[in-house]
């Protein structure tokens, strides 16, 4: 791809452009493609310029994970609040947003690859964003906090596992590809029903 013409960017604009390019590389070619050299070439910057912003390739990848996590948890939070309102909501929406973040959004592959290559704090930005989301959703509902944390743990673990192994496992077991999403949505439906004081069948 031809490098974009160089132009003066503020530090924030340069950093944002680098993260957007890194996200594109992640989705196009996988986590291994997210390097300082590749991102610099994609946005017409120098390797030194990106080193200044991120410190290392691991720093770039961690910033990318934080960017993805922030975007995704914002969407999930909005979906949960709509679900809590109880007005014609679909429990699959929250599940789909979470699963898509780790699958189509690349967060699962990125975090797993970073851990395997020695970046042990790779999941921190994702976990911190999810923790903030859960705390916000639990605010004013102290009796629900423990349950909400447990449901979030289950949902995220299922989403990560599905992103990495869902397709081959479903094939091997003769199950539909979206079976894990259906299981997660059914569990979330029960939780939402308990929150509103009634049961609520999952929409298939």
The string of pLDDT tens digits covering residues 3-38 is 444 556 677 888 889 999 998 998 888 888 888 999
Which three-class secondary structure state does DSSP give residue 89? coil
pLDDT at 146: 61
Percent of the chain with pLDDT over 70: 76
* 39 shares its domain with 121: no
pLDDT, mean of residues 65-93: 73
* 50 shares its domain with 125: no
Is 157 part of a structural domain of the chain?
Answer: yes
pLDDT at 188: 75
Q: Of 11-15, 50-54, 108-112, 191-195, where does the model show the most confidence?
A: 50-54
User: What does the pLDDT look like over 135-181, one tens digit per residue?
Assistant: 776 666 555 556 677 777 788 888 889 988 999 999 999 999 999 99
* 107 shares its domain with 64: yes
* 117 shares its domain with 154: yes
User: Is the pLDDT score of 185 beyond 60?
Assistant: yes
User: Is the pLDDT score of 192 beyond 90?
Assistant: no
* 112 shares its domain with 167: yes
- Under 8 Å between Cβ of 192 and 173: no
* 37 shares its domain with 110: no
User: Is the pLDDT score of 95 beyond 90?
Assistant: no
120 to 14, 33, 66, 113, 182: CA distances (angstroms): 27, 19, 15, 10, 31
194 vs 61, which has greater pLDDT? 61
* 42 shares its domain with 103: no
Angle 91-102/107-116 helices, nearest 10 degrees? 40
pLDDT at 9: 65
* 66 shares its domain with 51: no
How many domains does the chain contain in total? 2
Tokens coding 110: 């990125």
The pLDDT confidence band at residue 41, using thresholds 50, 70 and 90, is: very high
* 101 shares its domain with 161: yes
pLDDT at 100: 86
The CA distance from 194 to 196, in Å, is 5
Give CA angle at 31 (29, 35), nearest 5°: 90
- Under 8 Å between Cβ of 38 and 31: no
Helical residues (DSSP H) of 55-144, grouped into ranges: 57-85, 91-102, 107-116, 124-138
Query: Domain residues for 180?
Result: 57-195
Is 7 part of a structural domain of the chain?
Answer: no
First CA to last CA distance, the chain: 43
Mean confidence (pLDDT) of the chain: 78
* 79 shares its domain with 41: no
pLDDT at 30: 85
């Amino acid at each position: 791809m031809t490098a974009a013409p160089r132009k003066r960017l503020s530090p924030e604009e340069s950093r944002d452009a680098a993260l957007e390019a890194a996200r594109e590389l992640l989705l196009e070619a996988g986590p291994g493609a997210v390097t300082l050299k590749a991102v610099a070439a994609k946005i017409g910057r120098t390797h030194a310029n990106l080193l200044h912003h991120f410190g290392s390739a691991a720093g770039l990848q961690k910033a990318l994970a934080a960017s993805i996590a922030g975007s995704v948890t914002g969407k999930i939070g909005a979906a949960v609040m709509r679900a809590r309102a109880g007005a014609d909501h679909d429990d699959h929406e929250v599940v789909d947003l979470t699963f898509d973040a780790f699958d189509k959004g690349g967060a699962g592959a990125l975090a797993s690859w970073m851990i395997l290559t020695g970046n042990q704090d790779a999941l921190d930005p994702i976990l911190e964003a999810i923790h903030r989301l859960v705390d916000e959703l639990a605010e004013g509902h102290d009796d629900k906090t423990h349950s909400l944390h447990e449901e979030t743990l289950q949902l995220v673990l299922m989403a990560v596992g599905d992103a990495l192994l869902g397709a081959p496992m479903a094939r091997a077991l003769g199950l539909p590809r979206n079976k894990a999403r259906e299981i997660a949505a059914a569990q979330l439906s029960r939780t939402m029903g308990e929150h509103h004081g009634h049961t609520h069948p999952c929409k298939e």
